[in-house]
Structure 1
Amino acid sequence: MRNILTSTCAALIGATLATSVAAQAPAEFDPADFGKIVVQPRQSTNGLTFEQAIGDYQNEPIVQYGENSPAVRLGRPIGRLDMLFDNGKTGFCTAFIVDESHIITNHHCIPGMDGDPSGKDSGIQAAQFVAGYIKPGRSAGVDRYTISPQIVETNRELDYTVLRVFGNPSGKYGFLELAAADPEDAEFLWIIGHPQGQSQHISREGCAAASPSISDEGKLVHTCDTLGGNSGSPVIRISDKRVIGLHHAGDSISGFNMAIPMTRILAQSKVLKAAAGGGNSSVGAPRAPQQVSACDALWTEAKALGCGGYEAYVAECGNHTFSGMAEALIKRECTVPDRPPVITDAKPDLPEHDGPVFSVRTDGGGDYRSITDAVTQSPAGSQIRIFPGTYVEGLDISKPMELVGVGNASDIVLRVAEDHVIHWTANSGRISNLSVVQDGGSYFGIFFDSGTATMEDTDVTSTGLAAVGIRQDSNPILRRNRIHHAAQGGVFIYDGADALIENNEVYENTFAGIEIKSGSDPVVRNNLIRDGQSSGVYVHTEGRGRIENNEITRNTLAAVEISGRSDPVVIGNDIHHGKASGVYVQDNGLGLVENNTFNANALSAVSITSGGDPVVRNNTMRAGKESGVYVYDGGKGRIESNVIETSGFAGVAVKGGSNPMVVGNTIRNGKQSGVFIYEGGLGVFEDNVIEGNAYYGLEVKTDGNPTVRNNRFVSNVWHAFRVYEGGRGVYENNDLSANAAGDFDIDDDAGAFTRSGNR
C-alpha cells in the first residue's frame, strides 16, 4: 500500500491549492450516447487534470468484490448522472441519493444560474440518474430516473448542486448518510463512482485522508484514485460508512485529489440538513462502536493467521467493511471452490407475498403460458409472476391478486387493441413492473372500474383513451410509473373516484396529463408532469383534489386549469416554463392556490376569468412573459400575500368588469406598471408594496375604477399613479415615496375620482 500523505506535505498543499485547483467540466461523451447505459469511455480534453491517479491507478470495478459484498451494498445509492445540455454539449458525472426526492453532485457538473435569485435553470435539455450499473458493459438490472432540469440548490464556492429526482429511487436503492464531523488525519476512506461514465468503481487501496486532512483553504485532501466522471462521488469513511466529503477536483502540482468537506456543505444546504436530521438509516447507518472495534481487532488477527483467520472473520463479521476483501482473499489464496450460483425465477426485490405464487412464461417454462389462464385458474390472493415476452390478451381482474413483472419492465409487454389491457374491478391487489400498451379503440390502458390496487414501476401508453382511467368507487395508488404518449390524457379520474398519484412521470400526452372531474378527489403529489399538448392538470365539472409538490413544466396549455365550480387545493408546486398560464381559473372555478413557485411561463402566472373566484395566496411569481396575475372578463378572486416580480407586463392587470381583492402583496421590478386597470376593470387594492416597476406604480385608463388604499408606492420609474382616458377610482391613505416622476399624473380626459390622505 502506498504511503499516506503526512504532515510534511502540508506546506506543499497550502502553497499549491489556491493556484492549481479549479472547477472541472463534466467528462464528455458523444451526444448519440445519451440515454444509453453502456458508453464508450472518453475523457474531457479541456486541459485540466483534476481527476487523477496517485501512483499506480487502483480504481477497481466494484462488482469484483461480489454482488452481495458490503462495498456493493454501500454503493447502491450512488449512480451516474447523464446530462444533455441546451447548447448541444453532453457530459456525465457521479451523484448519490440523499432522500426520497433529491440527489447531490458537483456544481461544476450542472452550474445553473449562480447568484441569480430569479432562476434556477441548469441549461439542461434532459438529464437522468442511472442506478444499479455495476457490471461492466452490461445494462441488465439498471434503472433510469428522470431529473428535474431546474436546480434545487447550488453553490459555486462549495461546488455542490442538489437536484430533484423523480420516482423515489431511495425506495429501491436506499440513501447515504452524511457525516456531521470532518475526518481524522490519515483516516481510511472509500470513493465510489463512475469514472469516465463506466460501471461503478471503487477506490480503496491507498485511499485515505491526508495529514492534516483539511487544508488551510478548507478542502479535504485525499489520496484516492479518480478519473473524469468521478466528480460528485461521495468520499466515505470506512469506520461508519458515512459521507464525509464531496469529491470534486485534484491538484496536478502536489499530486493529490480534493473534496469539499460535508460539514461545510451541511452548514449551507437546507435540503441536506433536513436529510441528515431525518434519522434515515436504510444505507450507511452508523454501527455500534463495540461492533466496529471488535471486527477491526478481528481483522488485524485474521491477517496474521491467514486462511483460517479470514474464514473466522467472515463468519463473525460478514457485514463489516472488510468482509468483501476477506472473501476475495479466501477465493484467491485459500483455494476454496466457488459456490454454484443460485438460480431463481424471482428478482430479489419482488414484493413480498405470503399467498400462492404462479409464473407465466411465453416459452412454456412456467406454470402458465397465458396470463389470462393464470388469472382465471389461480385463487384470490395469488401473485402472478410474469416473465419477459409480449402478451396480447386483455385482462379482467375481479379478485384480489398481484401481477408482477420479473425482469426489466421494458421486456415485459402487455399489448392489446380494442380492449382495456387491464380492467380492474377487484377490491385490492398490485400491478408492478410491466409495460402496458393500449393499441387502439375506445379503451384505457389500465382501467380501475370501481376497483382498487397499487400500481407501481409500470410504463403505460395508449393510442385509444387515456393511459389510465379511474372511476366511481375506485381508490388506487399510482406510484413511480411512467405515463406517456397517450392519444388522450395520461390519467383520467371521474365519477367521484379517489386516488393517490405520487412520484410518477407523466409526459407528452395529447390531452391533460391528469384530468379530474365530477366530484373526484385525488391526491396528486411529487410528480413530474411535462410536455403535454394540453394542460398539465385539468380540474373541471365540480372536481376537487389536492395538487401538491409537483413539478409542472412545458405544457402547451395551463399547468393547472380549473373550471366548472371545481374547488381543488393547488399547493407547493413548481410551475415553470409553460407555454401558456401557470394556473388558469375560468367558468366559475374556485380553488386555493398557495405556496407555489411560478417561473418563466409564457403567459400570466395566474389568469382568472368568467366568474373564476380562487384564493391565490403566498405564491412567488417571477419572470412571466406577461402579467403576474391577469383578471379579466368578469373574473374575481382574492390575491393575497404573494411576491410578484419581474413580470413582462403589469404585475397585476384587471379589465372587463373584473373585481378582485388584492391584499398584502409585493409587486416589484416589472417591465411595465405595477398594477394596470383598464376597460372597466375594478378591484380593491389594500396594503400592497408596489416598487421598482419600469412604468407607473398604478396605471388606470378606459373606465377603470379601482379602490386603492393603504398601499406603499416606492421607487417606480415614473409616477406613483397615472390616470387617463376616463380612468377613475378612489385613492386614499397611500404612502408615496421616491417615485422618480412624482406622485400623480392626471390627464384632462380622466374621469371623476377621489384622492385623500395620501402622503
Structure 2
Amino acid sequence: MPAWLQTRLNGTALRAACIGAAGLLLAGSAAAQTAGFDPADFGKVSMPRRQSTGDAATQIETNKGAFEPISELDPRDPLAAMARPVGRIDILMKDSKTGRQSGAHCTGELLPGDYVLTNHHCLPQNGEMVPVRAIIVMDFLTQDGRGAKVFELDPRPVEHNARLDYAIAKVKGNPTATYGSVKLAATPAGSAPSLMVIHHPAGRPKVMSRFRCMATRQQGDPVELRHRCDTLGGSSGSLLFDARSSGIALHKQGGLAPDDPSSYNTATSMTALLQASPLLRKLAGARGQAPAPSGDAPSGASGGFGQDGEQPGSTERSSLRGSDNLDTDGMNSLLKN
C-alpha cells in the first residue's frame, strides 16, 4: 500500500479529500470516498488540476502498481469490456442553508434499462447538502477526455437506502445501448476471493485495482464486505468484481493503513443489496441473472424505495442462487504472497 494512502479517513480527512475549499459535507459515513471539484467546472470531462486538490493525479501517476489504467488494455480484452459500463459521476451540490455550491466525484455503473448504481452518500437525499445536478461520464480513459461522452443523471434516485449506502438513479440518452451494463451476483458469506475494483479515484481517468486486492479473511457484519483493494476519494460507488466478472459488493468507504495489516476498506455486499432492493433484483434478472436472494434480509436491510428504511409494498421473495465460492487460485492469487 503506497505511503500516501496511509491516512485513515475521518470527518476532517473527508473534507480535505473532497476539496476543503468547496465546503462539501456529504451525508453518510465519515470515511466515504468521494472527491471534490470546483462547482464552476461541473460538466467538464477533463477537470483542471488545482493545488487545492493536493494534486492526487500526480500521486496516482506515480503509483501505477495500485491503479492500472484501463486505457492501456486492448479494447478486445475481456477486462476492457467489463470496464465499459463503469463511469465517473459528477455531482453539483447545494447547501440548503447557505446556498453555497460544491462539486463531488464518485463512480457508478450502468444497469439494464438505463439506470445507474452508486452510493447514497454520492446522491444524498437527507441532510443539508442537496444534489441539484448530476452527470455520468463514460469512456473517460485519458486526461484529455478524448472519446468520453457525458450523460445527464437524475440527481433524485428512484431508490435509495442510507444504511446500505446505495442509490439507483435514471440516466438519459440510452448509454446502455453503447456501453452495456454490469453483471451482479450474490456471493456466499465468509469467502475470501480475489477481487478487482474498476473506478475513477480522485475523478481521474478510469483505472482498475488488482494488486493485493482481496476480501479479508476476517469478516464482520454480513451486510458488509471488508476488503483490501486500494481506493481513493472518488472511488465511492465502485463495484468489487470477482474472477467471474460479477459485481459482488458496492465499495463505500476507506480505512486501509499500510502499517496495520488488520485494517480494511468497506463495501456493502451484493447479497444484502439484492435482498433489500426490489428494483435491483428486477434489473439483475433483466440481464439474465436470478432475480432475488433466498431467505430473510439481513438485520436492518430494509427496502430502498422512497424514504430510507421504508419497506417496499411487496414482501414476495424468490430464490437467488448465489455465485459459487471463488477459487482462491483465481485472479491475482499469486499477488497475495
* TM-score class normalised by the smaller sequence: 0.5 to 0.7
Matched residue, 2:114: 101
Asked whether the 8 Å contact 1:104–1:163 carries over to 2, the reply is yes
Q: Tell me the secondary structure at the aligned position of residue 151 of structure 1.
A: coil
Question: Structure 1 residues 107 and 41 mapped into 2: Cα distance closer, same or farther (>3 Å)?
Answer: farther
Asked whether the 8 Å contact 2:240–2:247 carries over to 1, the reply is yes
Question: Structure 1 residues 42 and 83 mapped into 2: Cα distance closer, same or farther (>3 Å)?
Answer: farther
Match among 164, 174, 192 for residue 170 of structure 2: 164
CA distance in 2, matches of 1:267, 1:232: 18
Q: Tell me the secondary structure at the aligned position of residue 89 of structure 1.
A: strand
- Residues 585-609 of structure 1 show CA distances to partners (whole Å, capped at 9, x for unaligned) of xxxxxxxxxxxxxxxxxxxxxxxxx
- Residues 432-487 of structure 1 show CA distances to partners (whole Å, capped at 9, x for unaligned) of xxxxxxxxxxxxxxxxxxxxxxxxxxxxxxxxxxxxxxxxxxxxxxxxxxxxxxxx
Q: Tell me the secondary structure at the aligned position of residue 40 of structure 2.
A: helix
Matched residue, 1:29: 37
Amino acid at match of 1:162: I
CA distance in 1, matches of 2:236, 2:167: 12
CA distance in 1, matches of 2:135, 2:80: 21
Match among 180, 187, 191 for residue 186 of structure 2: 180
Match among 222, 225, 233 for residue 227 of structure 2: 222
Question: Structure 1 residues 42 and 219 mapped into 2: Cα distance closer, same or farther (>3 Å)?
Answer: farther
Q: Tell me the secondary structure at the aligned position of residue 146 of structure 1.
A: strand
Asked whether the 8 Å contact 2:33–2:254 carries over to 1, the reply is no
The answer as to 2:131 corresponding to 1:131 is no
Amino acid at match of 2:239: P
Q: What is the root-mean-square deviation of aligned Cα atoms in Å?
A: 3.5
- Residues 155-213 of structure 1 show CA distances to partners (whole Å, capped at 9, x for unaligned) of 1110111111112211111111111224653311000000010110100011111113x
Q: Tell me the secondary structure at the aligned position of residue 149 of structure 1.
A: coil
The answer as to 2:103 corresponding to 1:90 is yes
Matched residue, 1:234: 239
The correspondence of residues 737-752 of structure 1 with structure 2, limited to 5 A, is none
Matched residue, 2:89: 81
Q: Tell me the secondary structure at the aligned position of residue 275 of structure 2.
A: helix
Amino acid at match of 1:243: G
Question: Structure 1 residues 103 and 248 mapped into 2: Cα distance closer, same or farther (>3 Å)?
Answer: same
Question: Structure 1 residues 218 and 129 mapped into 2: Cα distance closer, same or farther (>3 Å)?
Answer: same
Question: Structure 1 residues 225 and 185 mapped into 2: Cα distance closer, same or farther (>3 Å)?
Answer: same
Matched residue, 1:58: 66
The answer as to 2:155 corresponding to 1:149 is yes
CA distance in 2, matches of 1:24, 1:174: 27
- Residues 335-373 of structure 1 show CA distances to partners (whole Å, capped at 9, x for unaligned) of xxxxxxxxxxxxxxxxxxxxxxxxxxxxxxxxxxxxxxx
Question: Structure 1 residues 62 and 168 mapped into 2: Cα distance closer, same or farther (>3 Å)?
Answer: same
Amino acid at match of 1:215: G
Q: Tell me the secondary structure at the aligned position of residue 217 of structure 2.
A: strand
Matched residue, 1:506: none
Q: TM-score, normalised by structure 2?
A: 0.67
The correspondence of residues 238-317 of structure 1 with structure 2, limited to 5 A, is 238=243, 240-251=244-255, 254-280=262-288
- State the Cα distance separating 1:56 from its structure 2 match: 9.6
Asked whether the 8 Å contact 1:27–1:91 carries over to 2, the reply is yes
- State the Cα distance separating 1:82 from its structure 2 match: 0.7
Q: TM-score, normalised by structure 1?
A: 0.31
- Give the gaps of 5 or more residues in structure 2: 3-28, 54-59, 96-100, 290-322, 333-337
Larger Rg: 1
- State the Cα distance separating 1:271 from its structure 2 match: 1.3
Amino acid at match of 1:249: Q
Question: Structure 1 residues 103 and 219 mapped into 2: Cα distance closer, same or farther (>3 Å)?
Answer: same
- Residues 675-702 of structure 1 show CA distances to partners (whole Å, capped at 9, x for unaligned) of xxxxxxxxxxxxxxxxxxxxxxxxxxxx
Q: Tell me the secondary structure at the aligned position of residue 253 of structure 2.
A: strand
Asked whether the 8 Å contact 1:29–1:41 carries over to 2, the reply is no
Matched residue, 2:13: none
Match among 74, 78, 81 for residue 70 of structure 1: 78
CA distance in 2, matches of 1:208, 1:158: 21
Asked whether the 8 Å contact 2:32–2:254 carries over to 1, the reply is no
Q: How many residues align?
A: 257
CA distance in 1, matches of 2:194, 2:143: 30
Amino acid at match of 1:218: V
- Residues 629-675 of structure 1 show CA distances to partners (whole Å, capped at 9, x for unaligned) of xxxxxxxxxxxxxxxxxxxxxxxxxxxxxxxxxxxxxxxxxxxxxxx
CA distance in 1, matches of 2:122, 2:76: 31
CA distance in 2, matches of 1:242, 1:40: 34
CA distance in 2, matches of 1:244, 1:227: 19
- Give the gaps of 5 or more residues in structure 1: 3-20, 46-51, 115-120, 282-287, 300-320, 323-759
- Residues 250-289 of structure 1 show CA distances to partners (whole Å, capped at 9, x for unaligned) of 22564311111011111111210101122447xxxxxx99
Asked whether the 8 Å contact 2:33–2:252 carries over to 1, the reply is no
Amino acid at match of 2:93: F
- Residues 522-552 of structure 1 show CA distances to partners (whole Å, capped at 9, x for unaligned) of xxxxxxxxxxxxxxxxxxxxxxxxxxxxxxx
CA distance in 2, matches of 1:112, 1:153: 10
Matched residue, 1:110: 123
Question: Structure 1 residues 207 and 40 mapped into 2: Cα distance closer, same or farther (>3 Å)?
Answer: farther
Amino acid at match of 1:219: E
Matched residue, 1:487: none
CA distance in 1, matches of 2:51, 2:189: 30
Asked whether the 8 Å contact 1:184–1:209 carries over to 2, the reply is no
The correspondence of residues 524-539 of structure 1 with structure 2, limited to 5 A, is none
Question: Structure 1 residues 183 and 234 mapped into 2: Cα distance closer, same or farther (>3 Å)?
Answer: farther
CA distance in 1, matches of 2:167, 2:51: 22
Q: Tell me the secondary structure at the aligned position of residue 202 of structure 2.
A: helix
The correspondence of residues 509-528 of structure 1 with structure 2, limited to 5 A, is none
Asked whether the 8 Å contact 2:198–2:238 carries over to 1, the reply is yes
- Provide the identity percentage: 35
Question: Structure 1 residues 91 and 196 mapped into 2: Cα distance closer, same or farther (>3 Å)?
Answer: same
Question: Structure 1 residues 41 and 237 mapped into 2: Cα distance closer, same or farther (>3 Å)?
Answer: farther
Question: Structure 1 residues 248 and 260 mapped into 2: Cα distance closer, same or farther (>3 Å)?
Answer: same
- State the Cα distance separating 1:38 from its structure 2 match: 1.1
